[in-house]
Amino acid sequence: MPRTIDAILFDFGQTLVDSADGFLAAEKEAQARLMQDLEIARRDEFLEDYRRMRQEFQRRSDYSRRSLWQAVYERQGRRPDCNVLEEWEIAYWKRVKDWTRPFPETFRVLEQLENRYRLGLVTNTQGQKAAEKHRLAELPELERFFRVILVAGESGVPAKPHSEPFIQCLAQLGVAAHRAVFVGDDWHNDVCGARDAGLQPVWLKHHAVRRDWPDEKTTVPVMTSLEALLELETWLD
């Protein structure tokens, strides 16, 4: 029996927009600042340890760069200037924002989908203080497609992969989980999170993104362009 889909929910970064080069540039700048201020002599050893710490923060769904950098200083036996870390964090996200661009097909696909489905967006917080807006606010022309936009990790809502943000978005859309699809690029936060919340996950490995994708054997549908969503119910069946 054909599957009926009423809603499509999306992640933001690396799903609707490409921020890969922005993150790369922001990370390089942050690492250079840290090494200079900490007077790091053994660069390779420091970067290996830094990347392990960053991965651990991500596994805990803690996306605050300031908290990460504070932990880096503490690992080196130093107390950081919190005001300086805040300035660095603002500069970090500005770099990412400046280099964030919608994928070429994003608007064209959303324009067709909004007439057929209820569209929602569930993205994780950037981990900044409440006064700083998520970078999606820089794209009002993108926001207009979504009936519900939920920034998980803020306002008491846990970050993905917790089921709560998916469930809250669906409730606001008035759609049951089994009649919704979630499209995202992150295996842990998006694919596993959506699946555990009862949605049908779709893993987007966009062909324009330079990335080492996790080597996961899965029956979850995989696509390399948002255009595949235009035939969603056909290939889900």
- Per-residue pLDDT of 21-42, as tens digits, reads 999 999 999 999 999 999 999 9
Residue that terminates a domain, selected from 48, 69, 98: 98
pLDDT confidence of residue 155: 86
- Phi then psi for residue 197, to 5 deg, are -85, 0
CA torsion through residues 226, 122, 211, 21, sign: positive
pLDDT of residue 84: 96
2 domain residue, yes or no: no
CA dist list (Å): 66 to 33, 95, 107, 166, 231 = 13, 15, 33, 27, 42
CA distances from 52 to 45, 87, 116, 208, 213 (A): 11, 23, 43, 26, 17
CA distance 191 to 49: 28
**Residue 234 confidence (pLDDT):** 84
138 and 213 both lie in a single domain: yes
Reported as a single tens digit per residue, the pLDDT across 93-131 is 999 989 999 999 999 999 999 999 999 999 998 876 544
- Domain end call among 98, 127, 160: 98
CA dihedral 121, 160, 173, 236 (to 10 degrees): 80
Q: Tell me: do 175 and 227 sit in the same domain.
A: yes
Peptide bond into 2 cis (omega under 30): no
**Cα torsion through 64, 66, 72, 77, rounded to 10:** -140
- Do 64 and 32 lie in one domain? The reply is yes
pLDDT attached to residue 233: 82
Same-domain status, 231 and 117: yes
Which ranges constitute the DSSP H helices of the chain? 20-38, 43-59, 65-75, 82-98, 106-113, 140-143, 163-173, 193-196, 232-236
Same domain, 123 and 224: yes
Is there a domain that residue 87 lies in?
Answer: yes
Is there a domain that residue 70 lies in?
yes
150 lies in the same domain as 57: no
The helix (H) or strand (E) run that includes residue 131 is none
Do the domain assignments include residue 136?
A: yes
* Helix (H/G/I), strand (E/B), else coil: 145: coil
Question: Is 105 in the same domain as 207?
Answer: yes
108 and 215 belong to one structural domain: yes
Identify whether 48 is part of a domain.
yes
Domain of 71 in residue numbering reads as 21-98
Cα-based angle 92, 206, 162 (whole degrees, multiple of 5): 65
Read off the CATH number of the domain in which 169 is found: 3.40.50.1000
Whether 1 maps to a domain, the answer reads no
pLDDT recorded at residue 2: 54
* One domain, residues 81 and 155: no
Q: Say whether both 109 and 168 belong to one domain.
A: yes
Q: What is the Cα–Cα distance from 83 to 65, expressed in whole angstroms?
A: 13
Supply φ then ψ for residue 19, to 5 degrees: -120, 10
Q: Are residues 34 and 59 in the same domain?
A: yes
Number of domains in the chain: 2
Distance between CA 30 and CA 73 in Å, rounded?
13
Of 98, 126, 154, the residue at which a domain comes to its end is: 98
What does each of the 237 residues of the chain score in pLDDT, given as a tens digit?
Answer: 357 899 999 999 999 999 989 999 999 999 999 999 999 999 999 999 999 999 999 888 888 999 999 999 999 999 999 999 999 999 999 999 899 999 999 999 999 999 999 999 999 988 765 445 667 777 889 999 999 999 998 889 999 999 999 999 999 999 999 999 999 999 999 999 999 999 999 999 999 988 888 898 899 999 999 999 999 988 877
- Is 202 part of a structural domain of the chain? yes
Backbone angles phi and psi of 206, in degrees to 5: -60, 135
Please check whether residues 94 and 106 belong to one and the same domain. no
Determine contact, residues 232/223, Cβ cutoff 8 Å: no
